[in-house]
Amino acid sequence: MKVDVLLGLQWGDEGKGKIVDVMAPRYDVVARFQGGPNAGHTLEFDGIKHVLHQIPSGIFRPGTRNVIGNGVVLDPVVFKSEIEKLEKYNLDVRSNLFISKKATLIIPTHRLLDQAQEKAKGENKIGSTLKGIGPSYQDKIGRQGLRVGDVLSSSFPEKLRKLVDHHARILKEHDFPFSWVEHEAGFMDAVSFLKQFSLIDSEYFLNSEIKKGSTILAEGAQGSLLDIDFGSYPFVTSSNTVTAGACTGLGVAPRHIGEVFGIFKAYSTRVGSGPFPTELLDTDGEAMRKEGNEYGSTTGRPRRCGWIDLPSLKYSIMINGVTQLLMMKADVLSIFPSIKVCTRYRLADGTETDQLPYELIHENITPVYDELKGWNCSLKGLNEAQLPPALNAYVEFLERELDVPISLISTGPDRSETIHRFRREA
Ligand code: GDP
Ligand code: IMO
Ligand code: MG
């Protein structure tokens, strides 16, 4: 069978966690392929809200096995606390979760380095989640990182010491106070905890599942506009969040990729610094934040809000090879009598384009909007046939502009508030 991929097309927080959980019963395996504890994937069912950071969002479905892939950066301390929270729900986490030996380890000094580097950037800070993502990927690319499989080796303490000493030197240059003693016991305890799980060669595991005919869903973190290569650099995360990242982050060859589910909010949000052409700094933006409860799942920071941005969505669809679109949070737009859609950008010289300029930041971009009628009614409990005509018109407008079918509409945070649309061929 092919490996389907589900990933965010905007700046993260599109609702990936909810939809992976909704889709997971159809899949034998759910596999996270990049990112780490910077992610916050929210799932809601039976009146309980769960936020996952490193654990794949298939974990609540008993028949689904979950894999943390080699492309992930894993913090053992965060891992331990996530698992402890999940164990309250009587899940079979220990037999349903597999961790790649090749995943990179986040150690406590990576978090400190993140803080030091952000502080040094001053006004130009990225707005990082401060979970150690940038520094741990730097060590991976710099060929000096530690990997999950290293914890099984007797030389682990020595390798760890070497990396901590290296970090201590950098932290000293930054004048950043640091004492390893404060972190060591907690970290080593979390490492021992991690060792109780199945640490595997996940590329062999996944390829043998493909051969057996198992169904696999690759779960992305962050969003395409935060991709290290294609996002609004330097205001991005440090991994490839796009479909290609699923290949390198899981060891799955491109020819095994099947459907690419591109998930987006019916509007836009962004948390952290960086360009955001359709951002609303007015009462509409505030109303969107309030109605959508737009506060970061990992950091609690208020998310910046704005209208949907089609040039950037078209870009994400192109880079990812999206085959189906999933539109989230349609209910949030119910508060607006009319809804704006940015269809193109007007550049400083007066020309209009639906392509992303090289520099979104310095380029003086004015979004050009089409205005559509709002539906202005609650979507609670509605099925596909009961959807208001203005919402159907919004969806059909987006399908025409984006040239990809929208096969799912989400109308609330709960598992059940999900409308599967008839899949038309593009
Ligand atoms: P992820 O990082 O892509 O998994 O998304 P987050 O969990 O960070 O943010 C999405 C937020 O929107 C969460 O609080 C979800 O519970 C919530 N959510 C998901 N789908 C919907 C929806 O259709 N309507 C509303 N109102 N909330 C939703
Ligand atoms: P999920 O998976 C939204 C943002 C941060 C910051 C930038 C870099 O929940 O969609 P990092 O900590 O990676 O160095 O931060 O990326 N960011 C996210 N924004 N959702 C996320 O994940 C994010 N992960 C990182 O706010 O702007
Ligand atoms: Mg999130």
What are the residues facing 29 on neighbouring strands? 65, 216
Rounded Cα distance between 64 and 66, Å, is 6
Ligand that lies nearest to the alpha carbon of residue 271, given by its number in the listed order: 2
Distance 122 CA to ligand 3 centre (A): 25
Task: Answer whether residue 337 shows pLDDT above 50.
Answer: yes
Name 68's bridge partners. 32, 99
Q: Which residues pair with 410 in a beta bridge?
A: 418
- β pairing state of 257-265 and 268-270: unpaired
Our answer on whether the CB atom of 266 is closer than 6 Å to any ligand 1 atom is no
Q: What does the pLDDT average to over 308-335?
A: 98
Instruction: Look up residue 11 and give its amino acid.
Output: W
Report whether pLDDT(101) > 60.
yes
Q: Work out the average pLDDT over 92-118.
A: 97
How remote is the CA of residue 73 from the centroid of ligand 2, in Å? 13
Ligand 1 pocket, residue 332 CB under 6 Å: yes
pLDDT over 70 for what percent of the chain? Answer: 99
The reported pLDDT for the residue numbered 423 is 52
Burial class (CB in 10 A: 0-12, 13-18, 19+), 235: buried
Please report the pLDDT score of residue 268 as a whole number. Answer: 98
State the distance from the centre of ligand 3 to the C-alpha of 57, rounded, in angstroms. 12
Residue 426: pLDDT band by 50, 70, 90 thresholds?
A: very low
Report the pLDDT averaged over residues 129-138: 98
Indicate which residue of 4, 21, 28, 41 is catalytic. 41
Q: Which two tokens stand for residue 92?
A: 């079979």
Name the more confident of 423 and 37.
37
Rounded to the nearest angstrom, the distance between the alpha carbon of 298 and the centre of ligand 3 is 7
For the chain, first and last CA: distance in Å? 22
Please tell me if the CB atom of residue 278 comes closer than 6 angstroms to any atom of ligand 1. no
Residue to mutate (ligand 2; options 51, 222, 232; most atoms within 8 A of CB): 222
Please state the rounded mean pLDDT for residues 136-157: 98
Instruction: Let me know: does 266 contact 328? Beta carbons within 8 Å.
Output: yes
Among 184, 192, 185, smallest CA distance to 161 is for 184
Q: Report which of 304, 217, 296, 227 is spatially closest to residue 37, judged by C-alpha positions.
A: 296
At 79 the three-state DSSP class reads helix
With a cut of 70, say whether residue 148 has pLDDT above it.
yes
* pLDDT tens digits, 36-92: 999 999 999 999 999 999 999 999 999 999 999 999 999 999 999 999 999 999 898
CB 23 within 8 A of CB 418: no
Atom of ligand 2 nearest to the CA of 41: 9
Distance 35 CA to ligand 2 centre (A): 9
Atom 19 of ligand 2: nearest residue by CA position: 12
Instruction: Name the least confident of 2-6, 98-102, 174-178.
Output: 174-178
The pair of three-digit structure tokens given for residue 116, joined into one six-digit string: 């030091």
Residue 18 alpha carbon to ligand 1 centre in Å:
7
Average pLDDT across the chain, whole number: 96
Sequence-distant contacts of 245-249: CB under 8 A, at least 24 apart? 245/33, 245/34, 245/71, 245/220, 246/3, 246/5, 246/7, 246/33, 246/218, 246/220, 248/33, 248/71, 249/33, 249/34, 249/69, 249/70, 249/71, 249/72, 249/218
How many residues in total does the chain contain? Answer: 426
In contact, 102 and 70? CB cutoff 8 Å = yes
Please write the tens of the pLDDT for every residue from 212-250.
Answer: 999 999 999 999 999 999 999 999 999 999 999 999 999
Concerning whether 41 is annotated as a catalytic residue, the answer is: yes
Kindly state the tokens that stand for 369: 């909007």
Pocket-forming residues, ligand 2, beta carbon under 6 Å: 8, 11-13, 35, 38-41, 126-129, 131, 133-134, 221-223, 226, 237, 271-272, 297
284 is catalytic: no
Q: Rounded CA gap, 332 and 328, in Å?
A: 9
Say if residue 425's pLDDT is above 70.
no
* Closest Cα to atom 16 of ligand 1: 413
Residue 391 confidence (pLDDT): 98
Q: Is the CB of 413 under 6 A from ligand 1?
A: yes
- Residues, CB-to-ion distance under 5 Å, ligand 3: 13, 40, 297
Atom 6 of ligand 1, residue of closest alpha carbon: 13
Do residues 146 and 105 lie in contact, with contact meaning Cβ atoms separated by under 8 Å?
yes
Give me the pLDDT at residue 84, please: 96
Q: Take atom 21 of ligand 1 and give the residue whose Cα is closest.
A: 413
